[in-house]
Amino acid sequence: MSDNAVAGATNVEQSAEHEEEVLAELTAPVPEVGDGGPEMVQLLTPEGQRVENTEYDEYVKDLTDEDLRGFYRDLVLIRRVDAEATALQRQGELGIWASLLGQEAAQVGSGRAMRPQDYAFPTYREHGVAWCRGVNPLNLLGLFRGVNHGGWDPNEKNFHLYTIVIGAQTLHATGYAMGIQRDGDVGTGDADRDAAVIAYFGDGASAQGDVNEAFVYAAVNNAPVVFFCQNNQWAISEPNERQTRIPLYQRARGFGFPGVRVDGNDVLAVYAVAKQALDAARTGQGPTFVEAYTYRMGAHTTSDDPTKYRVSAEVEVWKHRDPIERLKAYLVHEKKADHDFFDAIDAEADQLAAEVREGCLSMPDPTPDSMFDHIYVEEHPVVEAERKEFAAYHAGFSEEGGH
């Protein structure tokens, strides 16, 4: 047998062995990962104990005590805004509200890992990211009260308007990231210029066609985008086991880019993982899939009743993994914050809640014909004709003998 034939046979044999290994890995039983599994990145245990991690410690080593206290402040204040909004909806002041309860660390950690020039594409639950990007909470409430379509300038905050259509924002984010790439704002080495995009979505959205199409486009174009999946265990009433055979972060491998699972209730770990992924995107290394393993402590929205499909014992388990109590325990143990600090944050949260309530109740109702505003950039004859027709119809109700 010739040398070429021998080499060819060896290559075929090695290829077959590799295929068998891959097949065995992909068809192996799904491990029990109720606690996130051994592959999950964690820097703070649920008890607030610091865990060393040689890969990610470098991303948090420069955080000051003030930075850490800032994380705590973010977590407490946005949870209080969320609680106030839920109460306002229950009292008939908001049409609906999507709570972030339990997911604060996933949002604050990733939000604070962004640079000013980075751009975020949210779903309808990223109130914590909005807070980090400087969006007034009243803008969020205005959307759910029905008095505006968001109320903030996305290009000022680099935070896109909320997206209600499940998963659609991942395509928007990928397209925007490809635009950044083509503008030459990736991999220049200029920290104030190089930019990345982060797209938020949930575990349920990971099964949507739009999301998987975004993965394909991002991968083949090496787009500077981070796909940040908040796996809160429930796609409304559907649990993880009805959505996937493998941990979600492993799906990235099939599209050709890295994936990582992080403890979504650990703000330090989320910050480190998101920072690494965003750094990689900015330097031209392409997309990353981040699965923040967390839990939706409340209802999907205020129109949902989770007691119909999940047991209270599951919720109790996750209460012991609370992101705020975890960070508080760490700050206390390391003597980085005292009782006066925590009391001051609680007082600030009370004040913020009062301002949110007062601001919400005082929002003016929009005029009926404002629904025709901002449909197109320029005036459109069809829209203007519809506006006039509606105005005439509406005026008929105030005229004598009108209906």
Instruction: Provide the annotated active-site residues.
Output: 296, 300, 309
E strands present in 280-338: 288-293
Q: What is the C-alpha separation between 221 and 237, in angstroms, rounded?
A: 35
What is the DSSP-derived secondary structure letter of residue 41?
A: B
The C-alpha atoms of residue 220 and residue 388 are separated, in whole angstroms, by 48
Residue whose entry in the numeric block shows the structure tokens 């972030």 = 100
Q: Dihedral of CA 26/31/34/40: which sign?
A: negative
Alpha-carbon distance of 298 to 107, in angstroms, equals 16
The residues, any chain, with a CB within 8 Å of residue 20's CB and separated by 6 or more, are: none
Give the separation between CA 197 and CA 238, rounded to whole angstroms: 29
C-alpha torsion angle, residues 127, 132, 138, 139 (rounded to 10): -80
Query: What string of DSSP letters covers 153-169?
Result: -HHHHTBPPP--STTHH
Q: 211-229 in b/e burial notation, b at 16+ Cβ within 10 A?
A: beebbebbbebbbbbbbbb
**Residue in the structure block whose two tokens are 């991999």:** 187
Q: Both tokens of residue 248? A: 């979600």
